[in-house]
Amino acid sequence: MSDQNPVPPPTETLSFDFIPTRAAGLQRLSEFLPRAGKTYAFERNYDWGPEHRSNISGLSPYIRHRLITEDEVFAAVLGPHLESEARSFLHEVAWRTYWKGWLEHYPQVWRNYRLAVTRRVRAMEKSPTLLEAYDEAVDGRTGIDCFDAWTHELRQTGYLHNHARMWFASIWIFSLRLPWELGADFFLRHLVDGDAASNTLSWRWVAGLHTQNKHYLATVENIVQFTSGRFNPRRKFIDDNARPLNWEDLGPQELLPEVPEIVAGLRTGLLLTDEDLSPQSWPLGTEGVVALAGLCSADLRSPIAAGEVARAFSLGGVEDGLSRAGALLNLRPQRLDDEDWVRSLVDWAKTEGLQQIVTAYAPQGPVSERLAAAFRKLEPMGVHLAVIQRPWDQTAWPHATKGFFQFRDVIPKLVRL
Ligand SMILES: Cc1cc2nc3c(=O)[nH]c(=O)nc-3n(C[C@H](O)[C@H](O)[C@H](O)COP(=O)(O)OP(=O)(O)OC[C@H]3O[C@@H](n4cnc5c(N)ncnc54)[C@H](O)[C@@H]3O)c2cc1C
């Protein structure tokens, strides 16, 4: 790869402006379509900076919150493009599906990560040396020009190019020698697309904890080439010879959980969360639906406060989802208090006299943690939880047990959905 001549950035500028609505997501998708074929495959690895984003889609915050869905993206791309032309883009979209499905099979990896972040934050509070090194990294004061620039970019925009995320994570783990969980937590708090599966598992992949003996090392040459010379870090700062982190047991591979189905004839409340904000495509009749509410999990991402840009996107997305669902169902939407999900859901069920709450399946992450806690309280009160699962996830996830290369075989099935 390093023998190639770098591709210079295009002359026209294009910056991402993340407006948290489905309409904005659909517009971004339609504007990106002409570039989703061979141009994407050829140029996608270049990080030309925040003003030159024409080589990638910027769809991740929309897909992450399911303001637009993977099947919509596939269908739209396969309108103007042959599958063979758009393969590279379709595969990237499928990476998200793969990570989500894989974490469903290995939920202990998420639970371990959550415990480790809390432990690491506490340990840092007791270690002035670690705290100083951490603060330098998250304030963009390490003296490594590219790393510091990416830190500022992430905090200001809520976004980093995929390649920058890989270099950043690699420098964090192998050059700065900081705990990977604290880096993953920093990303999760600030990314507008911050996602339990894609983020945690990508950090683990860089560290060498996803595939044994395979880690990702940033090199000066690769950074120079794929930033088209914007950055040229000093060689002594970048350890491109480090060993992967010590392999950890993944815990048992678990079966995908049974999904509790909708019971007809019950007084039902529809709950929207930031895991799936496209209720217009939920396979659901409106009969018996008497109440509509929304909760946002932005503040549950970490024991440390979420970044403002990321938080605002998730909150805005929930508002947008609620207003669309309200129009669809002819119901007045309610924003429940995000501070205490269990109390909010119990109070909502009591006030509305609900016998059933229907929501979209929440994969491993903060939403599924809180829903599980709430339903331990609601079930004894006689409130049934029903979950809607999308055919996309049902088709793809059973195949996400090994590596992405095995998972790829399911993509033709997803194309036909
Ligand atoms: C350390 C690290 C942390 C990451 N954390 C997240 C995260 O929290 N949330 C997140 O959505 N992505 C994450 N990614 C994946 C990837 O960097 C982003 O999805 C991508 O950069 C988003 O920009 P885009 O929409 O322009 O992508 P495009 O290149 O246009 O890709 C199209 C879509 O495919 C999906 N996608 C692309 N690459 C990947 C990938 N490697 N893994 C998973 N999905 C992918 C996204 O939904 C994206 O919108 C992470 C990657 C790394 C290396």
Q: Which domains does the chain have, with CATH numbers?
A: 22-104+397-416 (1.25.40), 108-237 (1.10.579.10), 268-388 (3.40.50.620)
Residue type, 19: I
User: What separation in angstroms does the CA of 400 have from each of 30, 89, 116, 195, 205?
Assistant: 29, 19, 24, 17, 15
Q: Which of 31, 162, 203, 209 to mutate to test the pocket of ligand 1 (most atoms within 8 A of CB)?
A: 162
Q: How far is the CA of 162 from the centre of ligand 1 (A)?
A: 6
Q: Tokens 């790869």 sit at which residue?
A: 1
Give the residue whose CA is nearest to atom 19 of ligand 1: 60
Q: Are 57 and 159 a contacting pair, CB within 8 Å?
A: no
93: its two tokens: 């979209």
Q: What span, in angstroms and rounded, lies between the C-alpha atoms of 417 and 414?
A: 5
Question: Closest Cα to residue 349, out of 339, 358, 361?
Answer: 358
33: tokens are: 């379509």
CB 318 within 8 A of CB 326: no
pLDDT at 286: 73
β-pairing, 289-295 vs 333-335, is: parallel
| Rounded CA separation 298/215 (Å) | 30
For ligand 1, what atom is nearest to the CA of residue 216? 53
- Are 288 and 268 contacting, i.e. CB atoms less than 8 angstroms apart? yes
Q: What is the DSSP letter of 300?
A: G
Closest C-alpha residue for ligand 1 atom 30: 57
pLDDT tens per residue across all 417 residues of the chain:
444 677 888 888 999 999 999 999 999 999 999 999 999 999 999 999 999 999 999 999 999 999 999 999 999 999 999 999 999 999 999 999 999 999 999 999 999 999 999 999 999 999 999 999 999 999 999 999 999 999 999 999 999 999 999 999 999 999 999 999 999 999 999 999 999 999 999 999 999 999 998 999 999 999 999 999 999 999 999 999 999 999 998 989 999 999 999 999 999 999 999 999 999 999 877 778 999 999 999 999 999 999 999 999 999 999 999 999 999 999 999 999 999 999 999 999 999 999 999 999 999 999 999 999 999 999 999 999 999 999 999 999 999 999 999 999 999 999 988
pLDDT of residue 4: 62
Only one residue has tokens 């529809």, namely 270
User: 131 CA to middle of ligand 1, Å?
Assistant: 29
Residues in a beta bridge with 386 = 358
Pocket of ligand 1 (CB under 6 A): 44, 56-60, 63-64, 92-93, 95-96, 99, 161-162, 165-166, 169, 187, 191, 193-195, 198-199, 202-203, 206
Q: Biggest alpha carbon distance in the chain?
A: 68
Ligand 1 centroid to residue 264 C-alpha, Å? 38
Ligand 1: nearest atom to the Cα of 193: 9
